[in-house]
C-alpha cells in the first residue's frame, strides 16, 4: 500500500506542473542548461521517514542553500558573538543581489545574502581553502547522511562569472570583515555552492535542522541546538531575500532557496521539506517551488503560527490510588506544560497536608525549564507538609 502522503505529494506535483512563468538562470553556463521541466518534492519527518515524488534522482548544485550550513559551521567554530561582530542578523529589505552592508561598519546585514555568506565562509576554520571546503562539505554530508561531492563543471562555470562575488569579497576585505584572501574565499564559496544534491538529500538536511541538529536516521548530533536555532531564526527573517515577510505570512515555514531552483523548508520539531524546479521568478526563487510550498502549508496546516495549544494535555488524568492523588503526565512537557501541571495541582490542593503522586511514565520528554519548575513545585509541596511521590521510570526528571 502506498502512503497517502506519497500520493498527496504526487497530486501536488501534478497540479503545479503546468504553472507557467519563470526562467532557468542564465548567468551560469552549466545551470542555464538545466532541464526546465524537472520537478520533485521530498518530505522527511524528524523520525526519518522519507516521502517523495517526481524526479527524485535528478541531482543539481546546492547553490545558496549552502549558506545555511556554512553559517552553522562558522557559528560552531567561532561562537555566536564572534560571528555576530562580523555578520548581522537583520533582514536587508533589498533584492538578493544588493550589497546590503551596514552603513558604518560594512558588516553584511545577514548570513543569507551573498555578502554575508562570503563572510561566513571566511569564518569557517581551516588551514587553507581546501581544508575549509572539506569541512563545509563534511557538515553537509553529516546533515544529509551520505557523502556528498562537488560538481566540478558547475564550479568551473561559477568561476567564469565570479566578478560580483569578488567585488563583495574585496569590499568586505576593505572594511576588515574578511580576514583572508578575497580570491581564496570566492573560490571556496564557489565550491561550496557546487555541492551536488538531490531533493531527498535536501529534505533530509532540513529534517536534521527540524530535529534540532540530530540526524533523524542515525541519531547523530551534527550541530548543537543553539547553532540550529540561530540558523533557523535567520532563515525566518531573511531566508527568502526581499520576499521573506510575504513568505512567512503565506507559507509560514522558515526556508532557504537557491538559484538552481531548490527550496528547503524547516518546520521545527516536525518536518524537513525540499522542492526542486529550475525555473525562477524575479526574486530568484523557484516558481513551482514556491507554489508547492504554498500548497503544502495550506493543505497540511503547516504554518508555524498555527501551532495548536499544546499545554493542555500535560496532565493526562488524575486518579485516586491508595489515598494518593496521582497525576499522570504525558507528552513533551515544557514551560507551558509544567505551568499546566502546577495550576492543576494547586487548584486541587486541600488546606491540610495530603498525599500526591506524579507518574511520568506516559510522558515522552521534560525539558530543562519544566524540570526546574516541577522540581520547585515538589519542593514547595513537601515543605508545606504534603507527601509527594514521583514515579519516573525513564529518568525524565
Instruction: Tell me how far CA of residue 48 lies from CA of 53, 66, 89, 137, in angstroms.
Output: 16, 21, 30, 21
User: Binding site annotation covers 320?
Assistant: no
Sign of CA dihedral 83, 86, 90, 95: negative
CB of 218 to a second copy, least distance (A): 15
Cell numbers found for residue 93? 529589505
Minimum distance from residue 21 beta carbon to a second copy (Å): 20
| Bridge pairing between strands 331-333 and 363-366 | parallel
All 3 cell numbers of residue 241? Answer: 531575500
Q: Measured from the CB of residue 392, what is the shortest distance to a second copy in angstroms?
A: 17
Contacts with 208 (C-beta within 8 Å, 6 or more apart), sequence order: 143, 144, 145, 214, 215, 216, 222, 223, 272
241 labelled binding-site residue: yes
Q: Could you tell me the smallest distance in angstroms from the CB atom of residue 39 to a second copy?
A: 22
SS3 label, residue 380: helix
- Least distance in Å: CB of 37 to a second copy? 28
Smallest distance from a second copy to CB 303, Å: 6
Closest CB to a second copy among residues 38, 129: 129
Is 51 labelled a binding residue?
no
Helix axes 182-193, 66-78, angle to 10 degrees: 130
Cα separation, 8 vs 30, whole angstroms: 33
Confirm whether residue 114 is marked as ligand binding. Answer: yes
DSSP for 279-314, please give it: -B-TTS-BHHHHHHHHHHHHHTT--GGGPPP-GGGG
In whole angstroms, how far apart are CA 190 and each of 95, 102, 303? 20, 24, 33
259 is in an annotated binding site: yes
Phi, psi of 363 (to 5 degrees): -75, 155
Is 286 annotated to bind a ligand? Reply is no
**What is the nearest approach in angstroms of a second copy to the Cβ of residue 137?**
25
Output phi, psi for 339, to 5 deg: -60, -40
When the beta carbons of 195 and 238 are compared against a second copy, the nearer one is 238
Burial 337-371 (b: 16+ CB within 10 A, else e): bbbbbbeebeeeeeeeebebbbbbeebeebeeebe
Crossing angle, helix 114-123 and helix 182-193, to 10 degrees? 100
DSSP letter, residue 65: G
Q: Which is nearer to a second copy, 11 or 149 (CB)?
A: 11
Query: Judged by CB, which is closer to a second copy: 10, or 134?
Result: 10
CB closer to a second copy out of 141 and 310: 310
Q: Which is nearer to a second copy, 131 or 298 (CB)?
A: 298
Instruction: Identify which of residues 60 and 189 has a Cβ nearer to a second copy in the complex.
Output: 189
In a 3-state reduction of DSSP, which class is residue 355?
strand
Considering the complex, state which of residue 126 and residue 252 has its C-beta at the smaller distance from a second copy. 252
For residue 134, the minimal CB distance to a second copy (Å) is 26
110 is in an annotated binding site: no
Q: Which residues are annotated as a binding site for substrate?
A: 64, 114, 158, 165, 189, 241, 259
Amino acid at each position: 500500500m502506498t502512503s497517502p502522503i506519497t500520493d498527496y505529494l504526487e497530486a501536488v506535483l501534478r497540479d503545479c506542473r503546468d504553472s507557467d512563468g519563470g526562467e532557468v538562470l542564465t548567468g551560469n553556463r552549466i545551470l542555464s542548461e538545466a532541464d526546465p521541466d524537472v520537478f520533485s518534492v521530498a518530505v522527511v519527518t524528524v523520525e526519518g521517514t522519507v516521502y517523495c515524488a517526481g524526479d527524485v534522482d535528478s541531482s543539481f548544485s546546492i547553490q545558496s542553500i549552502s549558506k545555511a550550513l556554512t553559517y552553522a559551521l562558522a557559528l560552531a567554530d567561532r561562537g555566536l558573538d564572534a560571528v555576530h561582530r562580523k555578520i548581522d542578523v537583520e533582514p536587508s529589505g533589498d533584492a538578493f543581489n544588493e550589497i546590503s552592508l551596514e552603513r558604518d561598519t560594512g558588516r553584511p546585514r545577514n548570513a543569507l545574502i551573498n555578502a554575508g555568506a562570503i563572510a561566513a565562509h571566511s569564518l569557517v576554520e581551516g588551514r587553507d581553502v581546501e581544508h575549509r571546503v572539506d569541512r563545509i562539505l563534511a557538515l553537509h554530508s553529516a546533515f544529509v547522511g551520505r557523502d556528498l561531492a562537488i560538481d566540478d563543471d558547475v564550479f568551473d562555470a561559477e568561476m567564469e562569472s565570479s566578478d560580483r562575488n569578488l567585488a563583495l569579497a574585496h569590499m568586505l576585505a576593505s572594511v576588515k570583515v574578511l580576514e583572508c584572501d578575497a580570491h581564496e574565499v570566492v573560490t571556496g564559496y564557489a565550491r561550496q555552492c557546487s555541492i551536488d544534491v538531490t531533493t531527498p538529500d535536501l529534505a533530509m538536511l532540513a529534517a536534521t535542522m527540524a530535529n534540532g541538529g540530530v540526524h533523524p536516521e542515525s541519531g547523530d548530533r551534527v550541530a548543537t541546538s543553539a547553532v540550529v536555532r540561530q540558523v533557523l531564526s535567520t532563515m525566518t527573517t531573511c531566508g527568502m531575500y526581499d520576499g521573506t515577510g510575504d513568505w512567512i505570512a503565506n507559507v509560514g515555514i522558515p526556508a532557504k532557496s537557491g538559484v538552481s531552483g531548490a527550496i528547503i523548508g524547516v518546520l521545527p520539531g516536525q518536518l524537513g521539506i525540499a522542492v526542486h524546479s529550475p525555473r525562477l521568478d524575479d526574486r530568484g526563487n523557484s516558481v513551482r517551488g514556491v507554489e508547492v510550498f504554498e500548497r503544502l502549508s495550506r493543505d497540511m496546516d503547516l504554518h508555524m503560527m498555527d501551532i495548536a495549544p499544546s499545554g493542555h494535555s500535560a496532565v493526562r488524568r488524575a486518579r485516586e490510588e491508595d489515598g494518593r492523588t496521582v497525576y499522570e503526565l504525558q507528552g513533551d512537557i515544557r514551560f507551558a506544560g509544567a505551568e499546566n501541571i502546577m495550576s492543576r495541582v494547586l487548584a486541587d490542593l486541600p488546606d491540610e497536608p495530603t498525599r500526591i503522586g506524579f507518574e511520568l511514565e506516559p510522558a515522552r520528554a521534560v525539558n530543562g525549564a519544566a524540570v526546574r519548575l516541577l522540581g520547585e513545585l515538589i519542593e514547595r509541596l513537601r515543605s508545606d507538609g504534603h507527601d509527594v511521590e514521583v514515579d519516573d521510570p525513564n529518568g525524565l526528571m
